[in-house]
Structure 1
Amino acid sequence: MDISPDKQNIDAVFSNTLYHIDFYQRDYRWNDEPVLRLLDDIFYKFNEHYEENSSLPPSAEVIDAKYSWYYLNTYVTNKVDGKVFIVDGQQRLTTLSLILIKLLHLAKEHDSKAAKWLDSKISGQSGFETRFWMNHEAHRSTQQAIYDNELDNVDTSTGITSVNMVRNFQTISRWLEKDLVTKHKLETFIFYYLRRLVLINLTVEQTDVPMVFEVINDRGVRLKPYEILKGKLLGQIDKTVMASKNYNRLWEENIRAINAFDEDEADRFFRFYLKAKYANSRAEGQRFDGDYHRLIFSNEFDDKLSIAHNQAGVIQFLDDQFSYYIELYRKARDAYTNDEASAFTYNRVNDLDGALMLILSSCSLWEDVESEKLSLIPAELDRLFALLQIQGAYDSNAFQEMLFRISATIRDKGLDEIRPAFDHELISTLAKRRLTEVEEPFKYAFFKQTGIGLNTRFKRYFFARIDEFLARELNLNMKHSISDLVSKTGAKTGFHIEHILAHNEENMALFEGDEERFDMERNRLGGILLLKGKDNISSNNEAYSDKLKTYANTLYWNETLRADAYKSKLDMTQLKERFGLELEPIDHFGPDELEARQKLLFKIASIIWR
């Protein structure tokens, strides 16, 4: 590897080199904090010297003799086909160029002869064009507006780089205007800034850029793994090939699209993708939770991805796997966030994101049943989760292990193999937990006592699904969304568990005065409802006949206890006949009625998660 260090002052850095922003570099992301820190560092040293030498005229000789040099850090470049690309350091260099522009404006205001010198440090002749030495090609109009001091009409629509250029230039302007109030101090500072501020330029060969870039990133503020991965991948592609196929734009547009969900979404995508395609167990999957961008370039992955020191392999990866699966992930992630009509809603309210991995696992490149899998897999995940919960067999750690086994089973498989993979895990888990042979995924014997020990959030979800079923089959709109029923927990607007049997002597007598039995029975799903907070509070200790009044105009499942839910209701009659449901009003509520409601919920749950 050949690295050529070169100590340069700013006068030399910005002289006749047109700097292109390499694809390794992020947008210009510096905000006030690093800009102010840089200015503070520069002016601390300058003001210290200026206090001692303010009587001396501003000149190169005075500055070189009386002002010590100050190190501003290192920047890394590489040259390809005569073009100089910045591999590392564009944040600092861009900020230094903005300071130069502000110094130019101040020099013109003070009618300083330094203006022409400064102007040559900002831009110069490149071929037939005048170009900014810091060549932010996509944001040239913003640079020009800053240079022309026309910030009122500057267009920052080209992206965050433009926005930050304008904001940071305004920060720089306020600082310099406050500190450089006289022509003498301004001109002295210009000499100091251009002659005594020093950077080290490291020039590296193109083949060494990915490695150097990653090592540089290990110090200071780290880049995110996907940003390093970009450099390690695109750094292997010949720049002519990359420009002709525009791989930088392919990468940036796709990453930007999924990072719109969350700033770390790109890393979530790569981790889900790698787990989906290359992990058969949770332990294997956990390896990708760390520095996956290093792991996939190891010898172990050479025969799987073939992207280490392999331009053809990288190109194939970008053209195929990356292009297809990141777009598939975007569709799934968008549905998870926004699609209230799909099973992704059920996953979201239960904080289940496993479908994102399972979809990536199941789908093969450009397959024609992708949309069916996008619908089926989140529904199957919900079914697995719900049936484990309501049969007392859910364990969060075991559930995560299941997902990896399912992923391995359905990887690149057809639609008809998805349900059997889920059912296999469901049935085998029930058998282990119940210590008996199990042949079907949902049994009343396992559901009979459900409610006791079931977490409150899932109880809200369960009754939300019951109400959704009733609303759909009765041709009604839901009174509250699934999300609200599950997530709202406020004292007045939230939904809370209501015991149909109040805790009093009269109701306890229905269970022969056995308080332990009474508490167990009234906590079964057949003995509870969902009510809004204020209704729940007001009805907590009422007799059942009074509670019935409270249940009017609440959720549909609550209203099925009341006679007026059935009077002249053709849709209700058809619902009962269509599914064989023994729905009927209940005037008296005791052990038999509670058992009947439990069986009725089992029947409806069997239909929902059939």
Structure 2
Amino acid sequence: MARIENHKYSIEEAFRECFYIVPDYQREYVWTDKEVNQLLEDINEQIGNGHVREYFIGTILVSPTSQKNHYEVIDGQQRLTTFFLLLCALKHMFRGETQQQTISGLISTSYTDNSGETRTNLKLEPRYENAGEVIAKLVELDANPQAVRAGIQAAGIPSFGSLENLVSAYSTIYRYLKDNYDDTSTLKKYWGYLANNVVFIQISTDVSSALKIFETINERGVGLNPMDLLKNLLFTQVPQAQFTQLKDEWKKITSPLEKEKEKPLRFLRYFLMANYVIDNDRSDAVVREDEIYDWFVNKDNAALCDYRNKPFEFVRKIIRNVDSYISFGNGLGNDGKPNIPMDSLKRLAGGAFSLHYVLLLAAAPLPKPLFDHFVAQLESFLFYYIFTKTPTKDLERNFSLWADELRIIAGKSDPAEQRAALNAFVTNRFQSNMEAKSQELSDALKRLTLHTMQQYRTRYLLARLTQHVEMAFNGIKSPGSLGSFAGLEIEHILPNTPTAELSNQWAADNSQALYDDYKNRLGNLTLLEKPINIVAGNDFYSEKRPEYCKSGNYLTRSLVELTKVGQNSSVSRINEKLKAFPVWNAISIDDRHDMLIKLAKDVWRTAPLES
């Protein structure tokens, strides 16, 4: 059994006797002003109480290296790094005082290495991306925060993420000391308490044992989120010689999520529900964020993931899902290329809805034609749920269970069987639910105004309707990009800001209809090119009609007149679903509103994938 040593250190003892190395596989410095200030306030409160009791800040978990008194930090680096920055600030503020020399020895010192050479090292050495350069430059400059920041920038050292956190933490500490200990006598009192009375227990053992202790300490996520805990869990499965390799692979998970500002825990939830059968005591097939780590360490789930026997294969599976997750969020297909169905789905979902990623991740292995078809059907299904404002919790369980079905479909090797299974899925899961919500959708759309739904979704609705009519008018079967339609302006046919004359005329002709009510109804909205919209302005409908005739989209032109082109032509067929309006009043707006609702049922529907 590995030897475990415990030692109680004060801050001065720890930094005098130990060299701390933060290995590159550990979590980077993530503390913000909030956590730094809280630590400083806690210490300040102890001093203010007027007693000299020890202030215990918890345990620090380390693993000794081959070099005497050098330790890799397994748990506690946020606190140790903050105290190191505190020492740096104190050293600068004690300039000219004897304390400066003492503290300087706690920041860096010389030692004799195994080959007998004398070396000078910092007492804290972070080895993750550029952090060592930031810390070394900060110590070298020995200056106020403004000068430190300028010096780091002048040296060309990157400043982002955790590196920016280090510089910000130094600034926070420096300001705090200036605000609360603005003369030498009070600063000495502060230093005396910090050096001798702030203590922690240092637990030292080999790396493997330390990682297992770390897991036990944090098994309920105390201080760490499930992504950090999962990372540590995986490190316990590989020999130390593979730590750097695993760290590099792990970066392929976290870096893309950070770059796109995606929430790691949301991704992990969707990853689990998309890739595994979820069995829990609630029988709802859902994993909540606070349950993620517990799910991973469950014996049955660990066997399901097989990360203990094949940690690198498991990590690469997560990487593939991250790549797909990011691609889908950017409107790309399962081949990572621009994708018309996915772009349209993105315009509907926006940033407010993301649960559908569970289904997309599960369906990602499908061949591209099947995947694209699935995305188009999913868009229709989600339109019903989003525009009826159905709570997401009603979908969570279904999506998790449906993902299980999609994985089976994606795993089929026979193309005809796979296509038939996908068509059956769309019929049984999407179409049946849409039929059940058909009346609810009609009622929701009847109540729809410009302000009852996010404007980007109202624009999406109008764009899809306009595109559908344009395709029907030209006899086109497959939709192109929605971008050209979504870029048009939303036109109030009954002007948004009418003239007094127009308002009075409306009131006289529509005594039972409030102008401000009708102007924002769906039936009163259309899409129009900006130059035409400018000319149309806030005029009467009779004056706008000639401008509408100039529009490039038929849904807007048809307000004025339906184009006559033969019998049973693509134009005549779409004309059966449209209507021209010689006058524009409350009845016209109601009629057009009903017309658009019926048209919506044609746009957002499911269809089988033909062979």
The 2-side partners of 1:329 and 1:148 are apart by: 43
Aligned residue number for residue 95 of structure 1: 82
Alignment check: 8 A CA contact 1:461 1:482 kept: yes
For 1:115-154, list aligned pairs within 5 A: 115-125=100-110, 127=113, 129-137=119-127, 138-149=130-141, 151=148, 152-154=150-152
Deviations 1:193-217 (A, max 9, x none): 4334322212245444445334544
Deviation at 1:100, TM superposition (A): 1.7
Aligned pair in 2 of structure 1 residues 219, 463: CA closer, same or farther (>3 Å)?
A: closer
Kindly indicate whether residue 295 of structure 2 is the aligned counterpart of residue 314 of structure 1. no
Percentage of identical aligned residues: 18
Q: How many Å apart are 1:325 and its aligned residue?
A: 1.8
Change (3 A) 1:362 1:423: same
1:182 Cα shift?
5.7
Q: State whether residues 16 and 133 of structure 1, in contact with CA within 8 Å, keep that contact through their aligned partners in structure 2.
A: no
Write the distance in 1 (CA, Å) between the matches of 2:199 and 2:601. 78
Per-residue deviation at 1:7?
1.0
Which of 327, 335, 355 is 2:323 aligned to?
Answer: 327
For the 8 Å contact 2:60–2:76, the answer to whether it is kept is yes
Which residue of the partner structure matches residue 268 of structure 2? 270
Contact preservation (8 Å) 1:258, 1:266: yes
The Cα of 1:466 is off from its aligned counterpart by 1.5
1:92: Cα distance to partner?
A: 1.6
Q: How many residues align?
A: 537
User: Equivalent residue for 1:581?
Assistant: 574
Aligned with 1:407 (options 399, 403, 407): 403
Q: 1:401 to 1:461 in 2, by over 3 A?
A: farther
Alpha-carbon separation, structure 1, partners of 2:267 and 2:594: 47
1:76 maps to 61
CA contact (8 A) 1:97 1:122 kept: yes
Larger radius of gyration: 1
List gaps (5 residues or longer) in structure 1: 50-65, 435-444, 494-501, 509-514, 516-521
2:422 to 414, 418, 423: 418
Cα pair distance change 1:26/1:566, threshold 3 Å: same
More deviation, 355-364/337-346 = 337-346
Displacement of 1:275 in angstroms is 0.7
1:582 Cα shift? 3.0
| 1:560 Cα deviation after fit | 0.7
Distance change (3 Å), C-alpha of 1:69 and 1:422: same
Distance 1:147 1:464 in 2: 58
Instruction: Provide TM-score, normalisation by structure 2.
Output: 0.70
Cα 1:578/1:164, change in 2 over 3 Å: same
Q: Distance in 2 between matches of 1:483 and 1:104?
A: 58
Cα gap change, 1:559/1:603 in structure 2, threshold over 3 Å: closer, same or farther? Answer: farther
Task: State the Cα deviation string for residues 454-487 of structure 1 (Å, max 9, x = none).
Answer: 796487654331212345666999898548889x
Aligned to 2:523: 528
Give me the whole-angstrom Cα distance separating, in 2, the residues matched to 1:389 and 1:154: 48
Matches within 5 A, 1:29-48: 29-46=30-47
CA–CA separation in structure 1 for the residues paired with 2:198 and 2:32: 22
Match for residue 9 of structure 2?
8
Within-5 A mapping of 1:479-490? 482=486
Assess, with a 3 A threshold, how the Cα gap between structure 1 residues 588 and 363 changes in structure 2: closer, same or farther: closer
Match of residue 240 from structure 2: 239
Mapping for residues 33-432 of structure 1, pairs under 5 Å: 33-46=34-47, 68-79=53-64, 84-107=71-94, 109-110=95-96, 112-125=97-110, 127=113, 129-137=119-127, 138-149=130-141, 151=148, 152-155=150-153, 157=158, 159-177=160-178, 190-217=191-218, 222-243=223-244, 245=245, 247-262=246-261, 265-279=263-277, 283-307=283-307, 310=308, 312-318=309-315, 320-335=316-331, 341-350=340-349, 352-364=353-365, 369=367, 372=369, 375-386=372-383, 402-411=398-407, 412-413=410-411, 416=419, 417-429=421-433
**Is the deviation greater in 464-473 or in 114-123?**
464-473
**In 1: Cα distance, 2:90 partner to 2:347 partner:** 53
Which letter does structure 1 place at the counterpart of 2:264? A
Contact 2:331–2:346 (CA under 8 A) maintained in structure 1: no
70-79 or 177-186: bigger deviation: 177-186
Asked whether the 8 Å contact 2:219–2:293 carries over to 1, the reply is no
Offset, 1:430: 6.3
Residue deviations 1:129-161, cap 9 Å, x none? Answer: 432111112322211221122512214515333
1:18-29 mapped onto 2 (5 Å cutoff): 18-22=19-23, 25-29=26-30
Aligned to 1:518: none
Query: Which AA in structure 2 matches 1:322?
Result: I
SS at match of 2:285: helix
Distance change (3 Å), C-alpha of 1:275 and 1:80: farther
1:425 shift after superposition? 2.4
Q: How far apart are the structure 2 equivalents of 1:532 and 1:332?
A: 27
SS in 2 for 1:237: coil
Tell me the secondary structure at the aligned position of residue 61 of structure 2.
strand
SS at match of 1:223: coil
Mapped partners of 2:434, 2:180: distance in 1: 74
- Give, in angstroms, the shift of residue 260 of structure 1: 3.5
> Aligned to 1:562, what secondary structure does the other structure show?
coil
The alpha-carbon distance between structure 1 residues 174 and 562, as it changes in their structure 2 partners (threshold 3 A), is closer
SS in structure 2 at match of 1:258: helix
Instruction: Report which stretch shifted further, 158-167 or 552-561.
Output: 552-561
Q: From 559, 566, 571, give the equivalent of 1:561.
A: 559
Structure 1 residue 348: Cα displacement: 4.4
Whole-angstrom CA distance in 1 between matches of 2:38 and 2:437: 60
SS of 1:304's equivalent in the other structure is helix
Deviations 1:97-139 (A, max 9, x none): 11222232334x31x3443332221123464643211111232
Task: Give the whole-Å Cα distance in 2 for the aligned partners of 1:219 and 1:301.
Answer: 17
How far 1:261 moved relative to its partner?
A: 3.5
Q: SS where residue 580 of structure 2 aligns?
A: coil
CA distance in 2 between counterparts of 1:134 and 1:98 reads: 10
Would you say the 8 A contact 2:462–2:527 is kept in 1? no
Q: SS at the partner of 2:304? A: coil
Partner SS for 1:7: strand
Query: Judging changes above 3 Å, is the alpha-carbon distance between structure 1 residues 297 and 349 closer, same or farther for their aligned structure 2 residues?
Result: same
TM-score (norm 1): 0.70
Structure 2 vs 1, CA of residues 372 and 323 (structure 1 numbering), >3 Å: closer, same or farther?
farther
CA 1:279–1:219 in structure 2 vs 1: closer, same or farther (change >3 Å)?
A: closer
| SS of structure 2 residue aligned to 1:291 | helix
The aligned residue for residue 496 of structure 1 is none
| 2:251 counterpart letter in structure 1 | E
Per-residue Cα deviation, 1:157-216 (whole angstroms, up to 9, x for no partner): 153332222222233333445666666665565554433432221224544444533454
C-alpha separation between the residues in 2 aligned to 1:546 and 1:532? 17
Query: Per the alignment, in what secondary structure is the counterpart of residue 200 of structure 1?
Result: strand
1:447-458 map, 5 Å:
452=446, 457=453
Contact 2:381 2:434 in 1 (8 A): no
CA spacing shift, 1:346–1:22, aligned 2, 3 Å: same
For the 8 Å contact 1:9–1:197, the answer to whether it is kept is yes
Q: Residue 360 of structure 1: CA displacement? A: 1.8
User: Residue 512 of structure 1 aligns with which residue?
Assistant: none
Partners of 2:344 and 2:482 within 8 A in 1: no
SS at match of 2:297: coil
Aligned-partner Cα distance in 1 for 2:49–2:592 = 84
Using the alignment, how far apart are the partners of 1:483 and 1:225 within structure 2? 41
